[in-house]
Amino acid sequence: MNPDQLKYTKDHEWIGEDGGLYVVGITAHAQDQLGDVTYVELPAVGRAVSQGDETAVVESVKAASDIYAPAGGTVAEVNGALEDKPELVNQDPYGAGWFFKLKDVDASELGGLMDAAAYAKYAAESEH
């Protein structure tokens, strides 16, 4: 996914449309703050989520963090590769390190999320 074309949350998740589904992951900033990812707990396929719902969990050498749904929808697919290779989140947060894909997303909820420029400013400010 091209980070410049994604939408971002204040919890450092990203969401982007891909072939009719919406892919969700965490940002490079988030994985950098977490350190080495050691485990990812993914949601069940078919689970309906609302915007802001705790949907997945990522654990690292530093902390465990909830992953929230950036928009409401239904979990259509999960990244099973993360079960054996959670380090993909660190290596490729906008590509192979994605967490889950949503279908039936309420696109109007995406309007309240940050674009890449606004997120970059937010992430820089949150470091201080």
pTM for the full predicted model: 0.96
Identify the CATH number of the domain in which residue 16 sits. Answer: 2.40.50.100
Residue 121 domain-assigned (yes or no): no
Structural domain includes residue 54: yes
Q: Which residues pair with 49 in a beta bridge?
A: 73
Confidence of residue 96 (pLDDT cuts 50, 70, 90): very high
List the Cα angle 85/90/95 in 5-degree steps: 80
Query: For residue 112, is it within any domain?
Result: no
Question: pLDDT value at position 90?
Answer: 97
Instruction: Find all residues with CB under 8 Å of 103, minimum gap 6, and list them.
Output: 20, 21, 22, 73, 74, 76
Q: Is the pLDDT of residue 128 over 80?
A: no
Q: Is residue 78 part of a domain?
A: yes
pLDDT in tens, 33-84: 999 999 999 999 999 999 999 999 999 999 899 999 999 999 999 999 999 9
Residue 84 lies in a domain: yes
Q: How would residue 107 be classed by pLDDT, with cut points 50, 70 and 90?
A: confident
Q: For residue 112, give both structure tokens.
A: 């309240």
**Number of domains within the chain:** 1
**How confident is the model at residue 14, as a pLDDT?**
98
